[in-house]
Amino acid sequence: SAVISQKPSRDICQRGTSLTIQCQVDSQVTMMFWYRQQPGQSLTLIATANQGSEATYESGFVIDKFPISRPNLTFSTLTVSNMSPEDSSIYLCSVEERRTFGSGTRLTVV
Amino acid sequence: QKEVEQNSGPLSVPEGAIASLNCTYSDRGSQSFFWYRQYSGKSPELIMSIYSNGDKEDGRFTAQLNKASQYVSLLIRDSQPSDSATYLCAVSNDYKLSFGAGTTVTVRA
């Protein structure tokens, strides 16, 4: 079956630093999505990443804080920049075609 | 007003009983409806999708959709301890998913 791989699976980072999360899909997909799940809460869409164009961000999320790359149809990265403890969350990537999620990245900012 | 609302939990049911989960949505243009199961510390897993009014059954799971009432539900029959998880309702009218807050289900042996 189709697989969406994310890495790292978890990380503990110092405030003020940045972390780049990678998402790899085993087949070509048109759209990739990045979600955030804060502790005890549901999923919130951060942005939609299309290959060859800039990502589309949802209200409350900006490119300077969450830059996204989409270099090809199977890969995307999300960077969480200048982190603060409020960024501690699970970050998940997803693809439209299968409505499934990667395994997630559990980020803790200290 | 929240876009997607789920019945508040937690919901505790005895093993073998039916667990009933409800979800309402505000966008009348919504076309696609999904139920995800999320175990603690894991990512959400798609368990049901439904696109037209009526019932859809898959094993012990039945999804029900009523677009006129803007309501979607999930029934879990013969609940098992392994069904203990948080269930997320998600709604889409294009390519984006909007999620409810989730309902935590505990199946007690």
Question: Angle CA(B23)–CA(B48)–CA(A2) in degrees, nearest 5?
Answer: 135
Q: How far is CA A35 from CA A101, A103, B19, B43, B54, in A?
A: 9, 12, 28, 11, 30
> CA–CA separation, B36 vs A100, rounded Å?
9
- pLDDT tens across the length of chain B (109 residues): 569 999 878 999 999 999 999 999 999 999 999 999 999 989 999 999 999 999 999 999 999 999 999 999 999 999 999 999 999 999 998 888 899 999 999 999 9
Residue A104, Ramachandran bin (φ over 0: left; ψ between -120 and 50: alpha; else beta): left
Name the minimum distance, in Å, from the CA of A11 to any CA of chain B: 14
> CA–CA separation, A77 vs A82, rounded Å?
16
Give yes or no for A13 touching B (CB within 8 A): no
> CA–CA separation, A83 vs A80, rounded Å?
6
Closest CA to B100 of B73, B61, B69: B73
Name the minimum distance, in Å, from the CA of B69 to any CA of chain A: 23
Instruction: Quick: pLDDT tens for A22-62.
Output: 999 999 988 899 999 998 888 999 999 988 889 999 999 99
Cβ neighbours of B46 in A, within 8 Å: 98-100
Give yes or no for A73 touching B (CB within 8 A): no
* Cβ neighbours of B58 (radius 10 Å): 11
Q: Which pLDDT belongs to residue B2?
A: 64
Place of tokens 């876009």: B3
